[in-house]
């Protein structure tokens, strides 16, 4: 009998589904793809077989809902001999954004788990409903197969109350479940573990500051493999300056905008989540474009970059103090992995803290995890490419009884 070793990872958004099929014997990818604009006339499916030399395929035309999207994905996989009815498929792993306080680990999904994810919709109104739709659709397609929820918040549930609680009235906070949950947890977990590996140590032996700098951005302080603080809060709006989000702001700005500018709660939500951050400061949220404009002498772009880096530096300092001893600072995600000027500027001037970046190492472009600090530096600075799909697949596979290469439970 075949031992099932494949895991399908699904990341369902409100109008999109991203997927990857992995073989956990060697962590290899068999296929990946994306369905976007679900529910519109102009839906699109892009499917890429990653083994056997097949070419990328694209289908355009209306895909009515998530059920139709997943059916199309199943057809594409079947055309490559990787059908979802294969006995080699061990499980489906779903990214779920909000797991509240209840879900501290990846969890096999049953009716009770579905109900709990539903109960968390008020704290994640944009994400959890889409994640639930994806799960229900996949369960209808393969009701016999274990389906696992991997939560973006889970890695942060180890934060102590001193970091997780806002200093507001306790009864109000508890009644409305207002506290700091943190997000990007799958990435922070993966990158902190890979950083330990890069240093030749066990995760339990090292303290790491992880800087996940993508379009969304968050920092975390990880002590011995456990998260002790992170910069996102009740929602992904808190913390660092992001592509379109303000990050930290005096909450009184919101009352002021309501009272003085007559803006509604929804208007302010859109302003702070969609029209702020780098895009609000200079009109662009892509760091490549911002660097290009700076090279041409654009002052707004230069100021946006300075504000972005200033906030980043404040968090490095704060998490240095929280951890007491830091073994490594790890940069990851689109900006963290690619933007050498951001890494250089964020670490500049921190020599007294044992932090430095070697210009030559920093300029190397590769997909490999690597150190960019000089040999003499007390604290390692690393670039560690994140891989949320692999982490979800590993956690899913480990939960259904498979042995993973990456040592999720290490």
Phi, psi angles (nearest 5°) of residue 146: -65, 135
Q: Which stretch binds ligand AMP (CB under 6 A): 114-122, 232-240, 285-293, 295-303?
A: 285-293
Binding of residue 288 to ligand AMP (CB under 6 A): yes
Binding of residue 286 to ligand AMP (CB under 6 A): yes
Binding of residue 31 to ligand AMP (CB under 6 A): no
Six token digits for residue 93: 């792993």
Q: Which stretch binds ligand AMP (CB under 6 A): 3-11, 200-208, 262-270, 335-343?
A: 335-343
On whether the CB atoms of residues 252 and 261 are closer than 8 A, the answer is no
217/183 Cα distance (integer angstroms): 9
CB 386, min distance to ligand AMP, A: 8
Binding of residue 383 to ligand AMP (CB under 6 A): no
Look at residues 283, 313, 308 and name the one whose alpha carbon lies nearest to residue 298.
283
322/164 Cα distance (integer angstroms): 13
Phi, psi angles (nearest 5°) of residue 209: -100, 115
Q: Which stretch binds ligand AMP (CB under 6 A): 22-30, 73-81, 136-144, 284-292?
A: 284-292
The Cα angle at residue 17 between residues 335 and 195, in degrees rounded to 5: 35
Q: Which of 48, 86, 104, 215 binds ligand AMP (CB under 6 A)?
A: 215
Q: Site residues for ligand AMP, window 307-326 (CB under 6 A)?
A: none
Q: Which residues are catalytic?
A: 152
48/32 Cα distance (integer angstroms): 5
Distance set, CA 74 to CA 33, 142, 249 (Å): 11, 11, 44
Q: Which is nearer to ligand AMP, 33 or 243 (CB)?
A: 243
CB 335, min distance to ligand AMP, A: 5
- By rule CB under 6 A, what count of residues binds ligand AMP? 12
Give binding residues for substrate as ranges.
95
Binding of residue 338 to ligand AMP (CB under 6 A): yes
In this structure, what DSSP letter does residue 273 have? H
Give binding residues as ranges.
11, 18, 95, 212-216, 286-288, 334-338, 388
210/228 Cα distance (integer angstroms): 12
Q: Which stretch binds ligand AMP (CB under 6 A): 263-271, 286-294, 321-329, 367-375?
A: 286-294
CB 126, min distance to ligand AMP, A: 16
Q: Which is nearer to ligand AMP, 132 or 335 (CB)?
A: 335
CB 166, min distance to ligand AMP, A: 27
The contact pattern for ligand AMP, residues 216-255, with x = CB under 6 A and - = no contact, is ---------------------------x------------
Q: Which is nearer to ligand AMP, 212 or 223 (CB)?
A: 212
On whether the CB atoms of residues 116 and 109 are closer than 8 A, the answer is no
98/115 Cα distance (integer angstroms): 13
CB 333, min distance to ligand AMP, A: 4
Look at residues 256, 216, 207, 251 and name the one whose alpha carbon lies nearest to residue 378.
207
**Cα 161 from chain centroid (whole Å):** 23
75-81: long-range contacts at Cβ-Cβ below 8 A with a sequence spacing of 24 or more?
76/31, 76/33, 76/45, 76/47, 77/21, 77/31, 77/47, 80/30, 80/31, 80/49, 80/52, 80/54, 81/52
Give binding residues for Mg(2+) as ranges.
11, 388
Q: Which stretch binds ligand AMP (CB under 6 A): 21-29, 134-142, 269-277, 330-338?
A: 330-338
Residues in contact with ligand AMP by CB under 6 A are: 214-215, 243, 285-288, 333-335, 338-339
């Amino acid at each position: 009998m075949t031992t099932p070793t494949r895991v399908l990872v699904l990341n369902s958004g409100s109008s999109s589904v991203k997927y990857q099929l992995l073989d956990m014997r060697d962590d290899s990818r068999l296929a990946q793809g994306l369905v976007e604009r679900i529910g519109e006339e102009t839906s699109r499916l892009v499917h890429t077989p990653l083994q056997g030399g097949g070419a990328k395929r694209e289908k355009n035309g209306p895909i009515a809902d998530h059920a139709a999207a997943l059916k199309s994905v199943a057809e594409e996989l079947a055309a490559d001999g990787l059908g979802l009815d294969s006995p080699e498929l061990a499980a489906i792993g779903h990214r779920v954004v909000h797991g509240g306080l209840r879900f501290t680990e990846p969890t096999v999904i049953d009716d009770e788990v579905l109900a709990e994810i539903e109960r968390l919709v008020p704290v994640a109104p944009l994400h959890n409903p889409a994640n639930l739709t994806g799960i229900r659709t996949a369960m209808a397609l393969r009701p016999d197969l274990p389906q696992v929820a991997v939560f973006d918040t889970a890695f942060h549930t180890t934060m102590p109350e001193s970091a997780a609680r806002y200093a507001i009235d306790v009864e109000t906070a508890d009644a409305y479940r207002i506290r700091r949950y943190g997000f990007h947890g799958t990435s922070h977990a993966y990158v902190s573990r890979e950083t330990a590996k890069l240093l030749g140590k066990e995760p339990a032996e090292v303290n790491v500051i992880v800087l996940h700098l993508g379009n969304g951005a968050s920092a975390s302080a990880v002590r011995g493999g456990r998260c002790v603080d992170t910069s996102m809060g009740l929602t992904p709006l808190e913390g660092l300056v992001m592509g379109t989000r303000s990050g930290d702001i005096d909450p009184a700005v919101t009352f002021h905008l309501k009272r003085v500018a007559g803006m509604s709660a929804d208007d302010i939500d859109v302003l702070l989540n969609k029209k702020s951050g780098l895009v609000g400061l200079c009109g662009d949220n892509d760091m490549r474009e911002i660097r290009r404009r700076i090279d041409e002498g654009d002052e707004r772009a230069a100021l946006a970059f300075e504000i972005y880096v200033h906030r980043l530096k404040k968090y490095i300092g704060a998490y240095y103090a929280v951890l007491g001893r830091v073994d490594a600072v790890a940069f990851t995600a689109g900006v963290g992995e690619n933007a050498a000027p951001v890494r250089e500027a964020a670490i500049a001037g921190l020599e007294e803290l044992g932090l430095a970046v070697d210009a030559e190492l920093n300029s190397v472009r590769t997909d490999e995890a690597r150190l960019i600090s000089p040999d003499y530096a007390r604290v390692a600075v690393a670039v560690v490419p994140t891989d949320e799909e692999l982490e979800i697949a590993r956690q899913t596979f480990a939960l259904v009884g498979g042995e993973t290469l990456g040592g999720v439970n290490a």
